[in-house]
């Protein structure tokens, strides 16, 4: 796919090595991808998120003066410059951008991406909160029960000197499988939340509402692939750590071990950002796992530091918010049910029912807000990169019903 904005038309890109795609459908009945059936009532048009680029064997049409943000002509410098636009002869400034949904259809700033994520959660809370609250509640209740009923014996045994190794192993054999099952359920819950919120945010960009049932219907065909993508990333991170760190540990060299750890961590961060847009690419383009990795790599190329900075800022903001919610409730639990704040290191106080319940409530509230913000920022970064590289704003405007967008500068 050619990364030059301005003349991209729906279809596959010669650079991707794929077969030519059928021509784009009319604006009133576009398709998200060539393989999907025509959209039914309430289903977002498939032509919006399919790849854009020049059709195979065709030359790109010349850019037209006065086109939208997806293109620039002789009187329009690339993004970041000053623009002339109809309605203001002889005047320079940014052209007005259509805003059918939660973001304006133009390259986005950091504040607009964060604001778009929050605005979607606020405007579409009837769809967003039921998903996140239900998943967070199920996960935290299971985790609380595992810690109270299964891990408590293990914690107590570990703090007693007269407990035999056989008793500790028996406790481990009971507690660890249950803990692993709880973590697996948390993993699946996170996948479901990511998949459904991606669909809700994609509709919010077009100014469309989505019910929980509609979000699940749109996300369901790709959920198994999203699980595979997430597992592949996790397994790859572990294997990379084994390859780099284990030999250094066997060499019994502290300096080599520290160097290996920093190399592994640096590669992990680099690949994490490089493939950070694979999830929305997989869900919205209906692609395969490896094509989603390739799409993310292509979209991130040249913008790695920008995407890293926005993602890191989002993590810091959400972590601070979660701490503000969770820590007071945890301290309240220790004060009321654990004998005071001095008991925070006491395993018995940590596993008191009151402490566990208040901590779980805090985590449910925090995760119900944090998950949609993080998912929303990822989706909006994907949209922003496609607007910058592929002129996706033109397709989004047509799908949202914005008239004459891209021909009159509005």
How would you class 177 by CB atoms within 10 Å of its CB: exposed for 0-12, middle for 13-18, buried for 19 or more? Answer: exposed
pLDDT at 343 (0 to 100): 65
pTM of the predicted protein model: 0.75
Q: How many CA atoms lie within 13 A of 249 on its CB side?
A: 7
**Mean pLDDT on 377-385:** 97
Q: Answer left, alpha or beta for residue 342, where phi above 0 means left and psi between -120 and 50 means alpha.
A: alpha
Q: Which residues pair with 46 in a beta bridge?
A: 31
51/2 Cα distance (integer angstroms): 11
**C-beta of residue 319 within 8 angstroms of C-beta of residue 311:** no
**C-beta of residue 50 within 8 angstroms of C-beta of residue 33:** yes
pLDDT at 400 (0 to 100): 86
Number of Cβ within a 10 Å radius of residue 55: 18
Copy the structure tokens of residue 145: 């029960």
Give 48 or 397, the one with higher predicted confidence: 397
**Parent domain of 160:** 115-392
| Nearest by Cα to 14 from 59, 47, 64, 72 | 59
> pLDDT, tens digit, for every residue of 152-169?
665 555 555 555 666 666
Copy the structure tokens of residue 364: 């449910």
Is 61 within a domain?
Answer: no
Is 26 within a domain?
Answer: no
**Mean pLDDT on 137-155:** 77
pLDDT band at 263 (very low <50, low <70, confident <90, very high): very high
Give 290 or 32, the one with higher predicted confidence: 290
Torsion of Cα atoms, 280 then 286 then 287 then 289, to 10°: 60
pLDDT at 195 (0 to 100): 95
* Least confident among 26-35, 42-51, 194-203, 348-357: 26-35
Is 88 within a domain?
Answer: no
Q: Is the pLDDT of residue 238 over 70?
A: yes
Q: Which helix (H) or strand (E) holds 94?
A: none
**C-beta of residue 409 within 8 angstroms of C-beta of residue 86:** yes
344-349: list long-range contacts, CB under 8 Å, 24+ apart: 347/155, 347/156, 347/159, 348/156
How would you class 42 by CB atoms within 10 Å of its CB: exposed for 0-12, middle for 13-18, buried for 19 or more? Answer: middle
**C-beta of residue 400 within 8 angstroms of C-beta of residue 75:** no
Copy the structure tokens of residue 301: 């190329």
Is 215 within a domain?
Answer: yes
pLDDT at 161 (0 to 100): 53
Give 22 or 260, the one with higher predicted confidence: 260
User: For tokens 């929303």, what's the residue?
Assistant: 376
How far from chain centre, in Å, is Cα 294?
Answer: 16
Q: How many CA atoms lie within 13 A of 56 on its CB side?
A: 11
Torsion of Cα atoms, 259 then 260 then 262 then 268, to 10°: 160
> pLDDT, tens digit, for every residue of 295-353?
999 999 999 999 999 999 999 999 999 999 999 998 888 888 777 666 666 666 677 88
Is 403 within a domain?
Answer: no
Classify 340 as helix, strand or coil.
coil
Structurally, how many domains does the chain consist of?
Answer: 1
Classify 43 as helix, strand or coil.
coil
Is 293 within a domain?
Answer: yes
Is 79 within a domain?
Answer: no
**Mean pLDDT on 129-140:** 92
| CA-to-CA separations, 37 to 5, 46, 282, in angstroms, rounded | 28, 9, 18
Torsion of Cα atoms, 252 then 253 then 257 then 258, to 10°: 150
User: For tokens 């703090």, what's the residue?
Assistant: 159
Q: Is the pLDDT of residue 42 over 90?
A: no
Q: Is the pLDDT of residue 13 over 70?
A: no
306/328 Cα distance (integer angstroms): 34
Is 338 within a domain?
Answer: yes
Percent of all residues in the chain with a pLDDT value above 70, rounded to a whole number: 66
298/277 Cα distance (integer angstroms): 10
Helix, strand and coil content of the chain, in percent to the nearest 5, comes to 65, 0, 35
């Amino acid at each position: 796919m050619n990364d030059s904005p301005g003349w991209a038309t729906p279809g596959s890109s010669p650079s991707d090595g794929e077969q030519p795609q059928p021509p784009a459908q009319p604006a009133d009945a576009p398709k998200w991808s060539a393989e999907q059936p025509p959209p039914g009532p309430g289903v977002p048009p498939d032509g919006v998120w399919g790849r854009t680029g020049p059709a195979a064997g065709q030359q790109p049409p010349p850019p037209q003066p006065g086109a939208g943000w997806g293109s620039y002509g002789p009187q329009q410098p690339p993004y970041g410059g000053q623009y002339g636009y109809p309605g203001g002869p002889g005047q320079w400034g940014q052209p007005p951008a259509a805003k059918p949904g939660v973001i304006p259809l133009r390259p986005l700033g950091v504040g607009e991406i964060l604001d778009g994520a929050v605005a979607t959660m606020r405007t579409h809370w009837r769809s967003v909160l039921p998903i996140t609250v239900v998943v967070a509640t199920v996960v935290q209740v299971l985790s609380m029960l595992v810690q109270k009923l299964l891990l408590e014996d293990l914690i107590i045994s570990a703090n007693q000197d007269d407990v035999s190794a056989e008793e500790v192993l028996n406790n481990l054999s009971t507690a660890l499988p249950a803990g692993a099952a709880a973590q697996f359920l948390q993993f699946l819950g996170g996948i479901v939340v990511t998949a459904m919120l991606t669909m809700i945010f994609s509709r919010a960009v077009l100014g469309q509402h989505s019910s929980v049932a509609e979000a699940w219907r749109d996300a369901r065909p790709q959920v198994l692939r999203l699980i595979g993508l997430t597992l592949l990333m996790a397994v790859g991170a572990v294997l990379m750590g084994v390859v780099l760190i284990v030999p250094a540990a066997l060499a019994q060299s502290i300096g080599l071990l520290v160097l290996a750890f920093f190399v592994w961590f640096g590669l992990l961060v680099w690949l994490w950002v490089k493939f950070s847009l694979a999830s929305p690419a997989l869900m919205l383009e209906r692609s395969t796992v490896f094509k989603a990795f390739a799409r993310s790599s292509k979209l991130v190329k040249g913008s790695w530091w920008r995407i890293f900075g926005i993602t890191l800022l989002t993590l810091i903001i959400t972590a601070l918010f979660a701490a503000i919610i969770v820590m007071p409730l945890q301290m309240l639990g220790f004060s009321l049910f654990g004998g005071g704040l001095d008991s925070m290191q006491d395993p018995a106080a940590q596993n008191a029912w009151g402490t566990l319940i208040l901590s779980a409530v805090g985590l449910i509230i925090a995760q119900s807000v944090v998950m949609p913000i993080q998912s929303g920022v990822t989706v909006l970064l994907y949209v922003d990169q496609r607007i910058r590289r592929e002129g996706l704003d033109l397709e989004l405007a047509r799908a949202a019903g914005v008239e004459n967008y891209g021909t009159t500068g509005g």
